[in-house]
Amino acid sequence: MTTQHTAYAIGHAPSHTKHHEWRTAANSAPRLLPHLQKALASNPNLKLLDIGCGPGTISASLAQHLLPSGNVLATDIADDVLERAKEHAISQGLSVPDNISFQKASVYELPFSDNEFDIVHAHQVLCHLDDPVAATKEMLRVCKPGGLISLREADMRMWCFWPELPSLLKFHALMVEVMLANGGQDKGGRKLVSWVMGAGVKREAIEAGFGTWCYSATEDRKAWGESMIERLRTGQMRQKGIELGLTTEEGVEEMVEGWKRWIEREDAMLGIVNGEVIVRKA
C-alpha cells in the first residue's frame, strides 16, 4: 500500500471554497459537539487538531466552542488556503495564535509528537486520499490516550436529486469519476468503521452514524446550485473531466443549464449523505 498523497482533486478555486465557507461546527460536526462540551467540562484547556482545514470555517467555529482557554491547530496541505483560513479566523474575532493557529502539514506525516492532542478532527479529508487507513493511523498516533478522533466523510454515491434532471445525473456521475481518477474514495461514508478498524481500533471504541445535507429551500438551492455552476466553469472537475474524455465542453454547459433549471424548481430537493464516527483512543 502506498502512502503517497492524492493531490486535492477539486482544487481551492473560489467557487469551491465558497460552498466550504457555509460550513460550521454545527452543520458539519454535529456528532462531535456534545462530546466536545463534555470534554471541555473536565478540561478547559483542550487542544484540538483540525486536519485538512481548507478555508477554515469549521476550524474557526470549533475554536469559538473552545473559548476562552482551549486551542485549535488547523492544518492543510495547501499554503494559500491556510492564509485565507487565518484571515477568516481573525475576521471572526479569534486571536492568532492564542485561540487558533495554522500550520502546513501532510496528514500522512503529521509534524507532531505522539499523544499531543485531546481531539483530532477531520472533515471530508479521507475521501480525497488513496490510503485512508494510513492517515487514520497517523491521526491516532498524535491523539492522547482517552482522547477522541472525529471523522466525517461524504458517501459520494449517496446523492438524491429531485427532479432527476438527466444533466444533473450526468454531473453526479462525472463528479464521482473525477474523484476516482484522482485516487480518491467514492464510498467513504459507509467505509468509515472499516477504515478505523483497519487502523487498529476495536469496534466498541467507535460511535458511528450518518448525517445529511439537504438543499431545498430557495436560498440553499441558489447557494449550492451556483457553487456547482462556478465549479463547472472554473474548477478542476471541468478540466479533468474533459482531459479524461468523461465529458465535453458541450456536456459541461448542459450540466450548467441543468443546475440553473434545478435552482428555479421550487419543489427541488438534493440530499447528500455523510458517514460520521467518533473514536475513543485506547
Closest CA to 271 of 157, 191, 128, 123: 157
**Letter string b/e over residues 79-109, b meaning 16 or more CB atoms within 10 A of that residue's CB:** eebbebbbebbeeeebeeeebbbbeebbbbe
Give the count of residues interacting with its own copies (CB under 8 A): 32
Shortest Å, Cβ 198 to its own copies: 8
Shortest Å, Cβ 72 to its own copies: 28
Q: Which stretch binds its own copies (CB under 8 A): 44-52, 125-133, 157-165, 166-174?
A: 157-165
Between 191 and 240, whose beta carbon lies closer to its own copies? 191
Place of cell 470549533: 62
**269-280 and 143-162: which strand pairing?**
antiparallel
Between 186 and 253, whose beta carbon lies closer to its own copies? 186
DSSP E strand stretches across the chain: 47-51, 71-76, 100-104, 117-123, 143-162, 206-215, 269-280
Spatial contact of 211 and 30, defined as CB atoms under 8 Å apart: yes
Between 84 and 221, whose beta carbon lies closer to its own copies? 221
Shortest Å, Cβ 261 to its own copies: 15
Interaction residues for its own copies, span 180-209 (CB under 8 A): 187, 189-194, 197, 203, 208-209
Residues 205-244 as x/- pattern, contact with its own copies by CB under 8 A: ---xxxxx-x-xxx--------------------------
**Letter string b/e over residues 200-222, b meaning 16 or more CB atoms within 10 A of that residue's CB:** ebeeebbebeebebebeeeeebe
Place of cell 475521501: 127
Interaction residues for its own copies, span 53-112 (CB under 8 A): none
Between 48 and 175, whose beta carbon lies closer to its own copies? 175
Q: Which residues are CB-contacts of 192 (< 8 A; sequence separation ≥ 6)?
A: 126, 151, 153, 208, 275, 276, 277
Between 202 and 233, whose beta carbon lies closer to its own copies? 202
Interaction residues for its own copies, span 246-275 (CB under 8 A): 266-269, 271, 273, 275
Q: Which stretch binds its own copies (CB under 8 A): 37-45, 121-129, 161-169, 233-241?
A: 161-169
Per CB under 8 A, the list member of 67, 116, 144, 162 interacting with its own copies is 162
Helices and strands (DSSP H and E) totals, the chain = 11, 7
Residues that bind its own copies (CB under 8 A): 155, 157-158, 160-163, 187, 189-194, 197, 203, 208-212, 214, 216-218, 266-269, 271, 273, 275
